[in-house]
Amino acid sequence: MHELDVPLDSGAMARGGDAAAGQIARALEQDIVLGRLQPGEKLREEDLAERFGASRHHVREGLARLERIGIVIKERNRGVSVRRFTIEEVRQIYEVREIVQRQAALKIRLPADEAAIARLRGINTRYEAAVEAGDFQGIHSENDLFHTELFRLCGNDLLLQLVKHYMDLTYAIRGSAFGDPENLETSRRHHRIMLDLLGGTDSWALAQICVDHIQPTKAHYLAMLRRREEEG
């Protein structure tokens, strides 16, 4: 029984092909964030085509979507694999991420505009609904939108681009904790604190919670890497 429920015969319209690629990408994304596919694991087109009952064209497009968001990596003569970072790479990436997020948060003028806060509350409502529903695609998209719109308030487009770049770079790291209820509950609590602080005047507290917010997923991924080292 195929995992896709869209027609994949040669007469399918382009829109159907896009839907098939999207379903493949979403299924693989969920496998990665739930740990069914491990960092460094190969994603072979022929195996995926058989699994999904899809053409290799649709599989390639699905993998390309995951490559664009940084969850898989394609290497010459080695194919596509789940993105993997070393312990030192994680530390260095998060060191830079902490610096840019702190500075972006400090540049947000407080109290923030009421309309901006209301917009963020709406995004966060959708994020919390996605968490409750176990909708991993929704968790990812609404979480990223929340932080993009939050840091947009810094008023510096180049700084926002840096923040977004490191958010995208760490997608596979962050995604590894999407299935952890404790991590998701911490994330929800931090979002609520950020929203409250946006209505106040304590820029340093806002900057600190923005840095604290990214620590649990970093710790989760590093613990996973250390377990793999110990297991050989």
Domain CATH number, residue 38? 1.10.10.10
* Of the residues 51, 82, 113, the one at which a domain ends: 82
Same domain flag for 147 and 193? yes
Q: What is the pLDDT of residue 229?
A: 82
Same domain flag for 65 and 98? no
Q: What is the pLDDT of residue 131?
A: 94
* Of the residues 82, 112, 132, the one at which a domain ends: 82
Same domain flag for 116 and 167? yes
Q: Which two tokens stand for residue 45?
A: 């087109």
Same domain flag for 150 and 70? no
Residues in the chain with pLDDT values less than 70: 1-17, 232
Same domain flag for 144 and 227? yes
Q: What is the pLDDT of residue 17?
A: 58
Q: Is residue 6 part of a domain?
A: no
Same domain flag for 178 and 121? yes
Same domain flag for 148 and 99? yes
Same domain flag for 67 and 121? no
Q: Is residue 2 part of a domain?
A: no
Q: Distance between CA 199 and CA 211 in Å, rounded?
A: 19
CATH no. for residue 151?
1.20.120.530
Contacts of 78-82 spanning 24+ positions with Cβ under 8 A: 79/42, 79/43, 79/44, 79/45, 80/42, 80/43, 80/45, 81/40, 81/41, 81/42, 81/43, 82/32, 82/37, 82/38, 82/39, 82/40, 82/41, 82/43, 82/172
Domain span holding position 69: 14-82
* Of the residues 82, 102, 119, the one at which a domain ends: 82
Same domain flag for 169 and 109? yes
Number of domains in the chain: 2
